[in-house]
Amino acid sequence: MTTTVSARKRRVPEKAMPIVLGGGFLVLVAILWQIAAWAGLVNPFLTSSPVLIAGSLGDQIGSGLLLRSLGTSALELVIGFGMAAIVGVAVGLLMGRYRYVDYVVEPYVWLLYSAPIVALFPLLVLMFGLGSPTVVAITFLMSVIPVIVNSAQGVRNVDPKLIRTAVSFGAGETALLRKVILPASVPTVMAGLRLGVGRGLVGVVVGEFFAGDGGIGYNISFFAGHLGTTEVLASVFVVIVAGVLLNVGARKLESLADSWRTELP
């Protein structure tokens, strides 16, 4: 009772505090939510409950719906974001290196950046048909912008002293690009890819709302149309988990790329 603060042993080590507090908060919210649902304090039609959601997730796994939908959405993301990564890095490098390319492309990048791309879905449906191709197109258009912007910034921020040094030692334009500019801008390019995959996920989910014929986003919209709050929440939960995992993975890759940073042969 009378022990001093310094003498008392801490029950929770400082390192574990974020997990205990952060995780505890989420668990607490879930428990309160469940209790409120049981006690009839909230409208179960609108709010569902953690137990119901878990049950729905179980059903969706059991019926194979979840896996199938995840497969559809993942494929759309991989294709749409994959193309965005290739196109975005190439365009970004050119924009960052050659200012005339920058000037010429700039207005369209800003347009795509601030325009609601999803609003173009009727047009895209006309071009590609309803379903995955249109979702892929939306995903591409949404994720390509941060990749372009960051890649260009990465190139512009390459230490001019390094470029000067390479030129002094006889590097031509190709050698400069491959051996200095590209490796030097890897961290910024990777950050752009991370932002791009995040926006790509938005593109997949929202694209499926409007133009999809399957996938997690389509499920959310479909269940909502049938007033299935529980199923909607279950799908939203899946999207959140996917978003977090994608981000964690992207950050891992980012630090990996930084330590492995190398040049093209």
Contacts (CB under 8 A) with other proteins, residues 164-223: 164-171, 175-176, 179-180, 183-184, 186, 198, 201-202, 205-206, 209-210, 217, 220-221, 223
* Cβ at position 38, least distance to other proteins in Å: 20
d(CA 183, CA 144): 21
Size of the site for other proteins (CB under 8 A): 81
* Cβ at position 85, least distance to other proteins in Å: 18
Binding residue for other proteins, selected from 120, 130, 177, 253, defined by CB under 8 A = 120
d(CA 69, CA 57): 13
Please, which of residues 55-94 interact with other proteins by CB under 8 A? none
Q: Is the dihedral of CA 204, 207, 209, 215 positive or negative?
A: negative
d(CA 237, CA 88): 30
Nearer to other proteins by C-beta: 1 or 113? 113
Is 239 a binder of other proteins (CB under 8 A)? yes
Residue type, 84: A
In this structure, are residues 113 and 173 in contact, taking their beta carbons and an 8 Å threshold? no
In this structure, are residues 204 and 80 in contact, taking their beta carbons and an 8 Å threshold? yes
In this structure, are residues 200 and 139 in contact, taking their beta carbons and an 8 Å threshold? yes
Is 31 a binder of other proteins (CB under 8 A)? no
**Region binding other proteins by CB under 8 A among candidate stretches 51-59, 69-77, 85-93, 235-243:** 235-243
